[in-house]
Amino acid sequence: PKERRGRGAAKPPLKELGPDPASGKPMIVKEGRFGPYVTDGETNASLRRGDDPVSITVERGAELLADRRSRGPAPKKKARTRRSAA
């Protein structure tokens, strides 16, 4: 039989920063497909080039999340129109 493919188990967080001042939810630094990011379980914010995922502070994590929230959700892409097979 063919091997099953999947995402595998979730990686453990790099660092736990504590509660987010805005949402009250715990802020966690994780390593993702496109690099490290900070999340509160609802909002994800990428770390900038100069930010070190292990030594990031609670204040910097809260600042990144607040900046991401202020930008709002990503714009939705238009649905592709289907052509009938003729």
- Residue 85, domain member (yes or no): no
Taking the C-alpha atoms of residue 25 and residue 6, their distance in angstroms, rounded to an integer, is 29
Residue 79 is assigned to a structural domain of this protein: no
Q: What is the pLDDT of residue 82?
A: 80
- Give the residue numbers spanning the domain of 63: 15-71
Identify whether 50 is part of a domain.
yes
Please, are residues 10 and 1 in contact by the beta-carbon 8 Å criterion? no
Both tokens of 53, joined, read: 């995922």
Number of domains comprising the chain: 1
CA 58/CA 60 separation, integer angstroms: 6
1 is a domain residue? no
Q: Please indicate, yes or no, if residue 36 is contained in any of the structural domains.
A: yes
Q: What is the greatest pairwise CA distance in the chain?
A: 60
What are 20-49's pLDDT values in tens digits? Answer: 998 899 999 999 999 999 999 999 999 999
Edge-to-edge strands of the sheet including 15-19?
15-19, 26-32, 35-39, 44-46
Is 76 domain-assigned?
A: no
pLDDT at 1: 65
The answer as to whether 45 is a domain residue is yes
For the whole model, what pTM was predicted? 0.76
